[in-house]
Amino acid sequence: MARIDVDDGVQLFVQDWGSGTPIVFVHGWPLSHRMFEYQYIRLPREGVRCIGIDLRGYGQSSKPWSEYDFDLFADDLKAVLDELDVADVTLAGFSMGGGVVTRYMSRHDEEHVAKLALLGAASPVLAKKPDFPDGVDETAFVDLAQGCYEDRAKVSSDFADSMFHSAPSPELKEWLQNMSMESSPQAMADSIEAVGEMDLRSDLADISVPTLICHGVHDEACPFELTAEKLHEGIENTELVRFEESSHALFYEEKEKLNQELVNFST
């Protein structure tokens, strides 16, 4: 475990387990690196080093009052990878983290990265645009942000419910809710608005490394046809793996399958 300086007065928390081929995990909204627990406890046994990062505003990282957008998150990620001095990593992003790693690959010229894994990714674009009429109405993201200031606990509870194809145990849902409530309310609100404003379609052409796309076919947060299929079309060297029994929480609902895909892909 380490805390890495990425900005004046801002440190990111990094969990580093195992040895071997490194996978760097970037979590989704509004969670933390701990969401990958069921990857961390298996992959190091298969020769995979698991590096989990809490984005600024989340988990055990600093929670400054600041802008929260994909450029900032990508720059923070670059600072962490520079400090760790890792090479040829598999960079894995889930949900909002999928958008972060998409932006990183273009903004920072794929530095440190040999392979990319997009897991239930909120990428390249979710909200409706003039040339993307099938997207989600942008007011949905504004409403979520407003909800963070009015009843953030309910937003966290509702989002946890929406993540699963099969109902989770009450204890598992509580775990995710508690993880969500560790985040900064400002980061949580501003980040989801940034997801609504996000358009990373032009970044896809800059991705040249082999890319694994894993996505639940029942995903409501990041609908399969709006995200996984668009990523598969827009990135040159991709493999698209459908998770038939998962909604958004493929990291838990089909954890054994996801773990095996990551081992096969990264090693």
Q: Which position among 62, 95, 183, 246 bears the catalytic label?
A: 95
The Cα–Cα gap between 254 and 244 comes to 9
Residue 130 burial (10 A CB sphere; 0-12, 13-18, 19+): exposed
Within 13 A of 4's CA, how many CA atoms are on the CB side? 24
Answer yes or no: are the C-beta atoms of 65 and 90 closer than 8 Å. Answer: no
The Cα–Cα gap between 160 and 178 comes to 10
Q: Which position among 123, 219, 247, 266 bears the catalytic label?
A: 219
Q: Is 246 a catalytic residue?
A: no
Q: Is 248 a catalytic residue?
A: yes
Q: Is 219 a catalytic residue?
A: yes
The Cα–Cα gap between 36 and 23 comes to 12
Among 126, 92, 139, which residue's Cα sits nearest to residue 195?
126
Query: Going by DSSP bridges, is the β-strand pair 113-119/89-94 parallel, antiparallel, or unpaired?
Result: parallel
- Known catalytic residues? 95, 219, 248
